[in-house]
Amino acid sequence: MSVNVESLKAFCVSLPKIELHAHINGSISHETIAKLRERKRETKPHLADYKIPENSLDDIADFFPLFKLIYQLTDDIEAIKLITKDVIDEFAHDGIKYLELRSTPRKYDDTNLKTKEDYVRTVLSVINEPRDDIIVKLIISVDRRNTLDEAMEAVDLAIKYQNHGVVAVDLCGDVHAGTFDTLKPAFLKAQQYGLKVTLHFCEVPENLPEAPSLLAIGPNRLGHATLLDEACRKHIYEHKIPIEICMTSNVLSKTVPTYEEHHLKELLATGQPFCICTDDKGVFRADLSDEYVQAAKAFSMTNTQLYEACFQAIDSIFADDSIKDQLRTQWQKWFDSNTKYF
Ligand SMILES: CNc1ncnc2c1ncn2[C@@H]1O[C@H](COP(=O)(O)O)[C@@H](O)[C@H]1O
């Protein structure tokens, strides 16, 4: 099928969309990186020419070290405010109406970002700025490299700020590092306090042995779920656990060979719940509208199917039912006034 990519892209931008899997520090655009470099010109001259390298990954293992430099640019309160604001503005500009950002709290002795609580409060101060074009919530990430004490600290912050925009906790980080079982008590505590849980799941085959332990806690969503064995597939499908799909991230980090071979195909065919997401739109240089374009091209999705993909994702958000209802009304209104596309 030949597709007019320009009009497909315009449609995908105009489509009201939901983003549920976006790491703040991986989502920083090149324009914002330039602003960050400028801020640090005197204190960190070695970063004066820093750019996020393009198409540089031979393997997903090459991805995680990128943050050693990105974090040097985002190590103070003003930088965290700047990146959070710019990332939200960029998502809003791309037609996202509901956004769950996620981030791993950090602290530094030699900047004004003295505690992980400072980090969370700073991100929330921006997320909670009133605006009428987008709703934003926060998921607090626990890094696989964390000790249990560090994971508990992150979860305690999530609990403390649960009524101020935090909706869930996430397990993320270097897929070859750490073990879930070490961190599991922290996730169980989060659940006891009513927080939702999403877990990066089987991005690489080496994660399969711990998969039963991850599934046993009853996660509300899973990130990626790229390489499933039969037992995982059966569990996820029976429990209809929504999957956060990040196609460009998977293809560029080479955990999936091509868009056409992406496991979204199977979710579409079997009617499983999913949400198309960006993961790290700065590093992978693809907006959410681009991800919809890729899905449409790879799986010959019609405009109606793309709209339905966005609409069904509302069921998987972590905000409460009143927000879900509000979004469904907003989507329906958009649909009614955009019949030209269908
Ligand atoms: C490619 N797939 C992925 N798999 C696992 N973890 C990922 C990831 N992409 C990003 N992160 C996690 O998010 C952090 C950056 O954002 P924040 O500092 O938290 O805002 C990275 O350090 C990594 O731990």
DSSP class per residue in 227-238:
S--HHHHHHHHH
Instruction: Say how far apart CA 59 and CA 53 lie, in whole Å.
Output: 14
Q: How far is the CA of 25 from the centre of ligand 1 (A)?
A: 8
Measured CA distances, 230 to 102, 208, 211, 266 (Å): 30, 11, 12, 13
Asked if residue 200 has its Cβ within 6 Å of ligand 1, the reply is yes
Query: Per the confidence metrics, is the pTM higher than 0.90?
Result: yes
Q: What helix, strand, coil percent values describe the chain, rounded to 5?
A: 50, 15, 35
Rounded to the nearest integer, the mean pLDDT of the chain is 96
Give the model's confidence band at 58: pLDDT under 50 very low, under 70 low, under 90 confident, else very high: confident
Query: Mean of the pLDDT values across residues 263-271?
Result: 97
| CB neighbour burial string for 131-140, b if at least 16 within 10 angstroms, e if fewer | eeebbbbbbb
Which H/E stretch holds residue 184?
A: helix 180-192
Cβ-proximal residues to 9 (8 Å cutoff; 6+ apart), any chain: 289, 290, 293
Q: Looking at residue 54, what is its pLDDT?
A: 86
Query: Mean of the pLDDT values across residues 119-124?
Result: 98
Asked if residue 153 has its Cβ within 6 Å of ligand 1, the reply is no
Asked if residue 104 has its Cβ within 6 Å of ligand 1, the reply is yes
- Give the bridge partners for 137, in sequence order: 100
Query: Mean of the pLDDT values across residues 284-312?
Result: 98
Q: How far is the CA of 245 from the centre of ligand 1 (A)?
A: 15
User: Is pLDDT above 80 for 1?
Assistant: no
Lowest mean pLDDT among 4-8, 109-113, 284-288, 332-336: 4-8
Residue keyed to tokens 């070490």: 182
Q: By alpha-carbon position, which residue is closest to atom 8 of ligand 1?
A: 173
Share of the chain above pLDDT 90, in %: 94
Cβ neighbourhood burial of 300 (10 Å; 0-12, 13-18, 19+): exposed
Domains of the chain, CATH where assigned = 5-333 (3.20.20.140)
Amino acid at 274: F
Instruction: Say how far apart CA 48 and CA 37 lie, in whole Å.
Output: 6
Contact call for residues 169 and 141 (beta carbons, < 8 A): yes
Query: Mean of the pLDDT values across residues 240-255?
Result: 96
Asked if residue 17 has its Cβ within 6 Å of ligand 1, the reply is no
Contact call for residues 200 and 175 (beta carbons, < 8 A): yes
Q: Looking at residue 261, what is its pLDDT?
A: 98
Asked if residue 74 has its Cβ within 6 Å of ligand 1, the reply is no
- ipTM higher than threshold 0.90: yes
Q: Looking at residue 2, what is its pLDDT?
A: 54
User: Is pLDDT above 70 for 89?
Assistant: yes
Asked if residue 116 has its Cβ within 6 Å of ligand 1, the reply is no
Query: Mean of the pLDDT values across residues 118-139?
Result: 98
User: Is pLDDT above 60 for 311?
Assistant: yes
Q: Looking at residue 282, what is its pLDDT?
A: 97
Structure tokens at 68: 């050693």
Query: Mean of the pLDDT values across residues 201-211?
Result: 94
Q: By alpha-carbon position, which residue is closest to atom 7 of ligand 1?
A: 173
Measured CA distances, 78 to 32, 100, 111, 279 (Å): 13, 21, 10, 23
Total Cβ atoms within 10 A of residue 186 = 23
Give the model's confidence band at 130: pLDDT under 50 very low, under 70 low, under 90 confident, else very high: very high
Query: Mean of the pLDDT values across residues 194-213?
Result: 96
Q: How far is the CA of 172 from the centre of ligand 1 (A)?
A: 6
Give the model's confidence band at 55: pLDDT under 50 very low, under 70 low, under 90 confident, else very high: confident
Q: By alpha-carbon position, which residue is closest to atom 12 of ligand 1?
A: 173
Q: What residues are labeled active site? A: 203
Q: Looking at residue 56, what is its pLDDT?
A: 74
Q: How far is the CA of 32 from the centre of ligand 1 (A)?
A: 18
Query: Mean of the pLDDT values across residues 286-312?
Result: 98
